[in-house]
Homo-oligomer: A and B are copies of this chain.
Amino acid sequence: MHSLTEENYLKAIYKLLEKGEKKISTTAIAALVETAPASVTDMLKKLAEKKLIRYEKYQGVTLSGSGKKVAVDIIRKHRLWEFFLVEKLGFSWDQVHDIAEQLEHIKSEALITRLDHFLGNPKADPHGDPIPDEHGVFHALNTIPLSAVTVNVPVIITGVIDHRPVFLRFLEKEGYALGKKILVKEKLEIDQSVTLLLSGSKKLKHISHDVARNILVLPEKTK
């Protein structure tokens, strides 16, 4: 069995690998797990010992097969719990991450199997992030940022890139939510800002490029 701390390190490494690079630095991990780089080095030695990562000093780190499995399993649990918190307990999407950070470490295969079934085997969490199945397979949608959408082609909101509560609360206040329809009316050349119609409202909305690129969408009715 792995400690809660080990799980968090593996998850951090996984998230860093997910965003591009093949080799992950000590400092990047330190920032994510909020510890001193020296502490990260200690843990990397331990994880390498256990064959959960591949690590050679000064050369960065990458996940082994078993390490990746642990990381994906934690992510699965995190997202299932987030879904539960929003759909069953009525939390809003900006409140669930910290609680899920705790719940993701509960150890019981049966619990997750049953929770998954109870929730109707959801495919995405409240932020649109895909929930891997019990084999660790992701069924990710082929989303694009709202900033890249063609004018006058209707799209559906399917997720966010920025997960900060302050951003999520802003979106909620403005009426944006997963499943909502958006029709982009204009993209301003000068600053890449977007003018759009949000389903349910007749008033044009205007958002910056920076907001638009943090909203993920899909063209309406993809089969």
Contacts and interface: CB of A to CB of B under 8 A. Distances in A.
Interface of A: 85, 88-91, 95, 98-99, 102-103, 106-108, 110-111, 114-115, 118
Contacts of A118: 88-90
Given A95-B110, A110-B95, A115 B102 contact: no
Copies in the complex: 2
A114 B88 CA distance: 9
A102 B81 CA distance: 15
Contacts of A95: 110
Contact of A102 (B85, B90, B98, B106): B106
Contacts of A111: 85, 89, 99
A118 B106 CA distance: 21
Contacts of A90: 114, 118
A106 B89 CA distance: 15
Contact of A108 (B88, B99, B106): B99
B91 A114 contact: yes
Given A89-B111, A95-B110, 14 more contacts: A88-B118, A89-B114, A89-B115, A89-B118, A90-B114, A90-B118, A91-B110, A99-B106, A99-B108, A99-B111, A102-B106, A102-B107, A103-B106, A106-B106
Contacts of A108: 98-99, 102
A106 B95 CA distance: 15
Contacts of A107: 102
21 contacts: A85-B111, A88-B118, A89-B111, A89-B114, A89-B115, A89-B118, A90-B114, A90-B118, A91-B110, A91-B114, A95-B110, A98-B108, A99-B106, A99-B108, A99-B110, A99-B111, A102-B106, A102-B107, A102-B108, A103-B106, A106-B106
Nearest to A102: B106
Nearest to A105: B102
Nearest to A111: B99
Nearest to A107: B102
